[in-house]
Structures are given as C-alpha cells and as structure tokens.
C-alpha cells in the first residue's frame, strides 16, 4: 500500500503546508508516503514530491490511498479524484465564505465561492471513504452536505509549535514591549475575515475609559490583492486617532514572533471565520491568555475555562483587559487552563490518531 498526499501548494509558514509535511513524515513511519503538489518551495520535503506520471500510476491501484487536503479551490485536484481508482480520504480545512471578500477582491470572492462549490462537487462524487475534519465546526459543514456521520472524523492539523522551543528572543523588541503597561497581540493573515475592524473598535473603547497605556500589535502577512481592505483599516485607525496605540506589522522574523507571543499580555481574537485556529495554540503554548469572540471553530480550539464572549460587546472586551490587568490570579487561571488545552494538541497525540485512521 502507498499513500499520496495531495495539496495544490506546499509553501513554508502555511498552516495547511505544515499539516501536509508532518502528516507525510508521520505516515512514513508505517507506510510509504509521497506528496503531489503543483507548487512547492524547495526544502527537505523535496524528495517526497512525485510527478504527475508517478501519481497516475499510484492512483490506478485500489489498495493505495489518496489524502486530499481541501482548503482552497483546486480544479486539477478534483480531476485527479474523479479519475482515481484507489481509496480517497479528504482532509477538510474549510474555505472562507465569499462574503468576507466581496467588497475587496472579485478574484478572491470567486475563488472562495467556487472552492465551496467544489467541496460539494467532491462530496457528490461519492468516492470519499473518510472525511477527516480539522474541527467539529468543519465536520458540521460536511454533515450538512449529506455525508453520513460514520464517514467523518475530527483531527486537528499538525503544527510546528515545537520550533518555538529553540528560537532566540529579540532583545530590542523585549525592551520596546516593556515601555507599555499592557500589550495586546493578534497574529493572522491580514484578511477581512480576521476581525481587524472590531479590534480597532475594542481599542477605541478601551482608550476612552482607561487611557493610552496600551498597545495592540497586529502581526500577519499582507497581500496586494487586499490593499483596499488594509487601507480601510488604516483609515479607521487614523480616524480614531489610534496610531500611537495600534501597530500593524507585515512579515516579521521567527524570533520576533516568538518574542511577541512571550512578552505580550493578552491575545485578542475577534476573527469571524476559523476552520481551526493555530495561533490559539501558539498563544497557549507561550502562556499568553486569550480574550476571544465565539465564532466558527474558535471556542472548540480554545478549550474549556477560557475567556470567550458570545457577542461582540465592546464594553466587555475593554473591561476584560482592565480586570485581567488587576487580577494576577485570573491571568494564572486562564494560563493554567490554556496549557491544559494545548497539551491535547501535541503532534504526538495527533500522529497516533492519524495512524489509527490509516489502519
């Protein structure tokens, strides 16, 4: 038996890419496993990547397995699934709803729209043996497409959190962060589903009641296709005169990211759509308490006994920062329970689960 993992792209610093790489490594302990992708970055996984001809040979045989990672529209991928005679597993990472992108980018909107249609088209092929979903939230979407419950399992994506263990801290940044009483952090792609507008509103509320000794660092890759959105958020920050308390960072180094996580006070998470949220685990690993809004898969990723609000009540969010600042025991409580949650997601545990699915 051979296993091929299918993904449209395999790039560094990408959650799906990290999942694919580790999955390939984990499966290889038991069965020969390869990766087929259209675009990839040359790294130590280059040797695992196979050509289309090799793929076509493998998928001819019914005892082999494809694990198809679905997180974006991929027409070639769908064609491969159609022609495959082997067993098919689908790893469902979710696709953002098109409505988030509609005001900003027609192409992204179209990609999201057709990506979601593709999920349905893949289900309609009726060839997928097992749907492995990143979260219960994702599994719900698959269920709604008419897939029976016994075909669905939950398995969080593999991550690279262990890389943080050996990374140095950025001393200049530590000094910079120490200048402000309260440092908030958000890490995630600069995209309309991530709730930047609401974060600005929370800070505006906080500043009105408690003063300006606060800083929100927004960290995350930006792309030109969303320039309108980025300009809109910057304009909002300027309109509220919050340039001194909110800073937007594009790409930063890994030691800087580690330092932000380690030396910030809270992680503010107001995202409107997450199929799974790796930054939650990154924050919990760094003993950083989270203040979050309950949407999509956020609550289940966050775990039990964490500070999460059902609704976006700006007063509650700003008051949370103040209350946590004044109560060390509250912070300790959130950190303790965050660590317990993080321990449920070690790559080792995820590997064991994955290998039982492969059989």
Binding-site ranges for other proteins (CB under 8 A): 75, 83, 103, 106, 110, 113-114, 117, 120, 124, 146, 201, 204-205, 208-209, 227-228, 231-232, 235-236, 239-240, 305-307, 315-316, 319-320, 322-324, 327-330, 332-333, 336
Which one, 64 or 204, has the nearer CB to other proteins? 204
Tokens encoding 303: 């775990």
For the CB of residue 232, give the shortest distance to other proteins in the complex, in Å: 5
Pairing of strands 214-219, 152-154: unpaired
Task: Calculate the dihedral angle through the C-alpha atoms of 301, 307, 309, 315, rounding to the nearest 10 degrees.
Answer: -150
Distance CA 236, CA 332 (A): 34
Which one, 327 or 356, has the nearer CB to other proteins? 327
Cα 344 to Cα 22, 154, 166, 304, 349: the distances in Å are: 17, 13, 21, 12, 7
List the beta bridge partners of residue 67. 5, 89
Beta strands in the chain (DSSP E): 2-10, 32-40, 65-70, 87-92, 128-133, 152-154, 182-187, 214-219, 246-249, 266-269, 290-293, 307-309
For the CB of residue 198, give the shortest distance to other proteins in the complex, in Å: 11
For the CB of residue 45, give the shortest distance to other proteins in the complex, in Å: 26
For the CB of residue 63, give the shortest distance to other proteins in the complex, in Å: 21
For the CB of residue 70, give the shortest distance to other proteins in the complex, in Å: 16
DSSP 258-291: HHHHHH-SEEEE--S--SS-HHHHHHHHTT--EE
Which one, 328 or 348, has the nearer CB to other proteins? 328
Which one, 44 or 326, has the nearer CB to other proteins? 326
- Other CB atoms within a 10 A radius of the CB of residue 184 amount to 24
Which one, 189 or 322, has the nearer CB to other proteins? 322
SS3 49: strand
For the CB of residue 137, give the shortest distance to other proteins in the complex, in Å: 20
- Other CB atoms within a 10 A radius of the CB of residue 197 amount to 14
Which one, 209 or 357, has the nearer CB to other proteins? 209
Which one, 3 or 307, has the nearer CB to other proteins? 307
- Other CB atoms within a 10 A radius of the CB of residue 57 amount to 13
For the CB of residue 187, give the shortest distance to other proteins in the complex, in Å: 23
């Amino acid at each position: 038996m051979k296993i091929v993992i299918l993904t449209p792209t395999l790039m560094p610093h990408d959650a799906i890419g990290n999942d694919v790489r580790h999955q390939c490594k984990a499966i290889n302990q038991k069965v020969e496993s390869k990766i087929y992708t259209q675009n990839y970055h040359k790294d130590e996984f280059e040797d695992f990547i196979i050509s289309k001809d090799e793929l076509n040979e493998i998928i001819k045989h019914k005892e082999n397995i494809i694990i198809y990672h679905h997180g974006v529209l991929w027409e070639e991928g769908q064609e491969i699934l159609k022609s495959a005679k082997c067993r098919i597993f689908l790893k469902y990472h979710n696709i953002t709803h098109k409505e988030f992108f509609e005001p900003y980018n027609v192409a992204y909107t179209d990609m999201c729209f057709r990506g979601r249609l593709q999920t349905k088209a893949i289900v309609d092929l009726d060839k997928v043996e097992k749907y492995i979903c990143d979260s219960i939230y994702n599994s719900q979407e698959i269920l709604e497409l008419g897939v029976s419950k016994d075909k669905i399992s939950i398995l969080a994506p593999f991550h690279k959190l262990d890389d943080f263990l050996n990374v140095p801290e950025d001393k200049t940044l530590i000094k910079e962060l120490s200048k402000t009483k309260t440092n908030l952090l958000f890490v995630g792609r600069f995209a309309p589903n991530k709730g930047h507008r609401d974060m600005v509103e929370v800070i505006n509320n906080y500043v009105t009641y408690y003063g300006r000794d606060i800083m929100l660092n927004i960290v995350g890759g930006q792309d030109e296709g969303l320039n309108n959105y980025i300009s809109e958020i910057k304009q909002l920050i300027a309109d509220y005169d919050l340039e001194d308390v909110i800073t937007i960072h594009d790409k930063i180094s890994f030691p800087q990211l580690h330092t932000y996580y380690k030396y910030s006070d809270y992680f503010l998470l107001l995202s409107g759509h997450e199929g799974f949220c790796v930054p939650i685990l990154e924050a919990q690993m760094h003993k950083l308490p989270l203040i979050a809004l309950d949407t999509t898969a956020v609550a289940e990723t966050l775990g039990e006994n964490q500070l999460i609000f059902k609704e976006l009540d700006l007063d509650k969010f700003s008051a949370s920062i103040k209350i946590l600042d004044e109560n060390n025991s509250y912070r300790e409580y959130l950190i303790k329970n965050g660590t317990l949650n993080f321990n449920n997601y070690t790559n080792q545990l995820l590997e064991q689960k994955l290998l039982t699915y492969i059989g």
